[in-house]
């Protein structure tokens, strides 16, 4: 039986396939953070005064904050002065089409399996690609514009649609929200901006790929999605980074706003570099994601597959303000080797008849530690509100851990909250059974893990579900004898 | 096809098999009977390759190859199938997907391409009908929330689909009513051919009313204490396992 364990251990050892570095000249500023750095970032992006002021307010507030320590993850103190807060590929000035993007960059995205070119016609996905700190290319701009959909690098939206950005930036996650959100608000460099006007069903999936390339660089992107009355959008996000021996910081902010009858589906496949088998290197992923169901009958749905990062700290949440609004959170989080994840969601029910569903699947292997942390709040006005939460943990081997921290607060007597939790192990008897039918150990574990995640996979857009499946098998892949 | 010589095996510190000799030829059906704890199931699992058991002495040859040298999945791909006494549940994996994956793993081992979807569906339908199984079972998770009888039928279905050369049935009859027993027996008999062999491990004689064995072996205390034809099973039924104590004592 010890041999079985050793085999599972081995199985949990992973190879990271996106670990290459792109050799490209970068325009980066010196490491460190100060008001001057905030001003420099703002001026490099040629930002209006009001945005600079907002950044500075955020920075000054950040100085008063302490790094949170309530989470169930351990890491040495981060030196925020050692990080580079802005790095951009040295650009040829003004690109008018994709053909003019540096071919080395395009090649990078090809390697990542993200063809920015015409293949996308078939896939029907519009892509924005963010490399280190700046947005490289946005495809399908014209098709989208015909429908009135604005899909832009954030930095461009600031210039082209200042009134929209000003109105919604920080409206869901204020610059004072938390330590990492404040930091992001001060130094964010780029990200995606997306606006779906009233009554429009976005004609294609929108997608952003993030890539950290430069060394010692933090990535602080900001995404803002607004769905006006009756608008529908499905948005996908993917992330990778090269292998580096030092930790890199990633602190993103994503804000979603859904008005009456609007629907936003936000899917993430997060595959930042997790560090090596000994826990050296890897991305610190401290992310704030929140959606506001402002309008009645609105719906926001978060689906995430988290296989990367050394540390993940992330709680995509929904504020259910509009009556009859719906919030959903579906998550698969994998921690192998020395990875740690403290992730979950918050569902804040304010309006009447609001409904939320939480399905969280945590998989731990190696000495990985996986925590689910979820908060369900039923406010006074949340008459007949409903929540259902289900948290399942799967353990591979006997040195990893799974933890569940549910917080429930109910202030309305008609509200109903249900919570279910389970923990299971990949059983030796299951592996034996599948091998007796001809599957290799690796195929057997993949089959068991994929079965465990099925409820969440079924909710991912199809091509993402395939990617997630592949990613998970790579994550848990090893040299099984 | 299968040749077992002086096989000794233990689990942890306990020796369970203490010198088994058995020869099974292609085309034959062998029944292994014996009281609880005699080592019947252990023998079945040692043939399949379960790693909880350590073979301390003896050898097993399968079609001329050293079976003990082969990984579990290689044995399976080479045609050894074990119908489990307690089939295992796999949550979230549909029975259909599992079956097809298993078949394709075996095909891959033999350098064959994956089975075509239409071919698979046709074969599946044919076997479901024969076993009186509803096709809705194919969309349910492997063995999850199956009744005892459904699980056993599901084992026989897998056997029918995988078409093994050597099938080992580990107490497949336990907990089955008479109708289910007949169906299971039909499944086994349908597979009967000059190229295949079956070992039926059972505690009771009644399964052998429907699967007529060529040879019956009685296992007690980790050894085969008697072998004979099908009449031995009837004799056991008549006398019970009590009389074996004399045999094992000597």
Q: How far apart are CA A134 and CA A144, in angstroms?
A: 21
Q: Which of A435, A446, A480 to mutate to test the interface with B (most CBs of B within 10 A)?
A: A435
Q: Which of A428, A437, A441 to mutate to test the interface with B (most CBs of B within 10 A)?
A: A437
- A-B interface: how many C-beta pairs under 8 angstroms? 75
Among A4, A447, A455, the residue with its CB nearest the CB of B101 is A447
- Structure confidence by residue, pLDDT tens digits, B120-166: 999 999 999 988 889 899 999 999 999 888 999 999 999 999 999 99
Tell me which residues of chain A have a pLDDT lower than 70: 1-27, 88-140, 210-218, 239-246, 461-464, 467, 470-481
Q: How many other C-beta atoms lie within 10 A of the C-beta of residue A65?
A: 15
CA A170 to chain centre: 18
The secondary element (H helix, E strand) that includes residue B18 is: strand B14-24
- Structure confidence by residue, pLDDT tens digits, B111-133: 999 999 999 999 999 999 988 88
Whether the CB of B163 is below 8 Å from some CB of chain A: the reply is no
Closest C-alpha to A319, from A179, A151, A174: A174
Coil, helix or strand for A382? coil
Whether the CB of B124 is below 8 Å from some CB of chain A: the reply is no
**A2-12 vs A441-457: helix crossing angle, rounded to 10:** 60
Q: How far apart are CA B198 and CA B169, in angstroms?
A: 8
Query: Which residues of chain B does A454 touch, with a Cβ-Cβ cutoff of 8 Å?
Result: 92-93
Higher pLDDT, B42 or B248: B42
What was the pLDDT predicted at A291? 97
Does the pLDDT of residue B229 top 50, yes or no? yes
In a domain, A434, yes or no: yes
Nearest CA in chain A to B89: A430
Query: Which residues of chain A does B106 touch, with a Cβ-Cβ cutoff of 8 Å?
Result: 438
Higher pLDDT, B41 or A121: B41
**Count of the separate structural domains present in chain A:** 1
Whether the CB of B9 is below 8 Å from some CB of chain A: the reply is no
Contact B93 A454 (CB under 8 A): yes
Whether the CB of B169 is below 8 Å from some CB of chain A: the reply is no
Among A4, A438, A452, the residue with its CB nearest the CB of B92 is A452
What was the pLDDT predicted at A102? 56
Query: Which residues of chain B does A430 touch, with a Cβ-Cβ cutoff of 8 Å?
Result: 88-90
Between the CA atoms of A202, A131, A17 and A465, what dihedral angle is there, to the nearest 10 degrees? Answer: -10
- Structure confidence by residue, pLDDT tens digits, B162-205: 999 999 999 988 888 888 888 889 888 988 999 999 999 998 88
CB distance B200 to B227 below 8 Å: no
- Structure confidence by residue, pLDDT tens digits, B65-105: 999 999 999 999 999 999 999 999 999 999 999 999 999 99
CB distance A445 to A396 below 8 Å: yes
Give residue A409's domain range.
2-475
What was the pLDDT predicted at A335? 83
Contact B72 A435 (CB under 8 A): yes
What was the pLDDT predicted at A126? 57
What was the pLDDT predicted at A368? 83
- Mean of the per-residue pLDDT values for chain B? 91
What was the pLDDT predicted at A17? 61
In a domain, A481, yes or no: no
Query: Which residues of chain A does B158 touch, with a Cβ-Cβ cutoff of 8 Å?
Result: 437
In a domain, A285, yes or no: yes
Query: Which residues of chain B does A436 touch, with a Cβ-Cβ cutoff of 8 Å?
Result: 48-49, 72-73, 75-76, 81-82
Secondary structure, 3-state, A248-285: EEECCEEEEEECCCCEEEEEEEECCCCCCCCCCCEEEE
In a domain, A480, yes or no: no
Contact B91 A452 (CB under 8 A): yes
ipTM of the complex: 0.95
In a domain, A71, yes or no: yes
Query: Which residues of chain A does B91 touch, with a Cβ-Cβ cutoff of 8 Å?
Result: 451-452
Whether the CB of B66 is below 8 Å from some CB of chain A: the reply is no
In a domain, A445, yes or no: yes
What was the pLDDT predicted at B187? 86
In a domain, A383, yes or no: yes
Per DSSP, A190 falls in state B
Contact A440 B50 (CB under 8 A): no
């Amino acid at each position: 039986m010890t041999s079985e364990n050793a085999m599972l251990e081995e199985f949990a050892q992973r190879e990271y396939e996106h670990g290459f570095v792109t050799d490209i000249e970068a325009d980066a500023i010196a490491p460190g953070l100060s008001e001057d750095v905030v001003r420099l970032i703002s001026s490099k992006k040629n930002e209006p005064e009001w945005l600079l002021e907002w950044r500075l307010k955020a920075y000054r507030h950040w100085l008063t904050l302490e790094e949170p320590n309530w989470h169930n993850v351990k890491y040495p103190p981060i030196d925020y002065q050692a990080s580079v807060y802005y790095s951009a590929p040295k650009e040829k000035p003004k690109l008018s089409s994709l053909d003019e993007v540096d071919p080395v960059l395009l090649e990078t995205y090809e390697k990542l399996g993200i063809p920015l070119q015409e293949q996308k016609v078939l896939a029907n996905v519009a892509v924005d690609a963010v490399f280190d700190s700046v947005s490289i290319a946005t495809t399908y701009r014209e098709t989208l514009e015909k429908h009135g959909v604005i899909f832009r690098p954030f930095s461009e939206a600031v210039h082209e649609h200042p009134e929209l950005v000003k109105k919604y930036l920080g409206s869901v996650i204020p610059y004072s929200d938390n330590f990492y959100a404040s930091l992001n608000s001060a130094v964010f460099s780029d990200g995606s901006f997306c606006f779906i006007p009233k009554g429009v069903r976005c004609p294609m999936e929108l997608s952003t790929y993030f890539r950290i390339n430069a060394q010692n660089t933090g990535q602080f992107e900001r995404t803002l999605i607004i769905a006006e009355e009756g608008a529908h959008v499905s948005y996908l996000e993917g992330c990778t980074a090269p292998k580096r021996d030092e930790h890199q910081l990633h602190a993103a902010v994503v804000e979603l706003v859904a008005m009456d009858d609007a629907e936003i589906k936000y899917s993430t496949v997060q595959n930042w570099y997790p560090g090596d088998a000994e826990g050296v290197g890897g991305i610190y992923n401290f992310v704030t994601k929140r959606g506001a169901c402002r309008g009645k009958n609105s719906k926001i749905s978060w689906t995430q597959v988290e296989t990367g990062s050394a540390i993940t700290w992330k709680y995509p949440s929904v504020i259910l303000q509009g009556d009859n609004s719906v919030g959903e959170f579906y998550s698969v989080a994998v921690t192998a080797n020395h990875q740690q994840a403290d992730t979950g969601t918050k569902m804040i029910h304010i309006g009447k008849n609001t409904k939320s569903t939480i399905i969280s699947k945590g998989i731990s292997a190696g000495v990985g530690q996986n925590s689910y942390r979820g908060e369900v709040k039923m406010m006074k006005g949340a008459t007949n509100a409903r929540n259902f939460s289900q948290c399942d943990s799967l353990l591979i081997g006997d040195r990893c851990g799974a933890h569940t921290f549910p917080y429930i607060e109910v202030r309305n007597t008609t509200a109903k909250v249900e919570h279910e939790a389970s923990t299971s192990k990949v059983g030796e008897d299951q592996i034996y059974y599948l091998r007796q039918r001809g599957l290799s150990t690796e195929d057997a574990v993949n089959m068991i893990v994929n079965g465990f995640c099925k409820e969440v996979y079924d909710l991912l857009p199809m091509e993402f579900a395939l990617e997630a499946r592949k990613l998970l098998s790579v994550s848990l892949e090893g040299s099984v004898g | 096809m299968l040749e077992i010589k002086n096989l000794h095996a233990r689990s942890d510190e306990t020796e369970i098999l203490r010198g088994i000799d058995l020869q099974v030829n292609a085309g034959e059906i062998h029944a292994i009977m014996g009281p609880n704890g005699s080592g019947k199931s252990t023998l079945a699992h040692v043939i399949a390759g379960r790693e909880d058991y350590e073979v301390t002495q003896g050898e097993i040859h399968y079609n001329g190859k050293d079976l003990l040298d082969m990984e579990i999945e290689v044995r399976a791909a080479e045609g050894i199938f074990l119908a489990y006494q307690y089939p295992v549940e796999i949550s979230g994996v549909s029975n259909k997907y599992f079956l097809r994956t298993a078949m394709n793993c075996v095909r891959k081992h033999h350098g064959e391409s994956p089975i075509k979807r239409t071919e698979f569906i046709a074969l599946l339908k044919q076997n479901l009908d024969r076993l009186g199984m509803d096709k809705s079972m194919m969309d349910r998770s492997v063995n999850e929330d199956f009744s005892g009888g459904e699980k056993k039928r599901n084992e026989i279905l897998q056997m029918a689909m995988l078409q093994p050369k050597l099938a080992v049935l580990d107490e497949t009859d336990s907990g089955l009513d008479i109708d289910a027993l007949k169906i299971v027996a039909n499944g086994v008999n349908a597979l009967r051919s000059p190229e295949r062999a079956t070992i039926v491990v059972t505690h009771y004689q009644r399964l052998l009313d429907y699967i007529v064995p060529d040879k019956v072996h009685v296992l007690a205390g980790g050894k085969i204490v008697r072998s004979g034809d099908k009449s031995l099973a009837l004799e056991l039924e008549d006398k019970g396992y009590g009389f074996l104590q004399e045999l094992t004592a000597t």
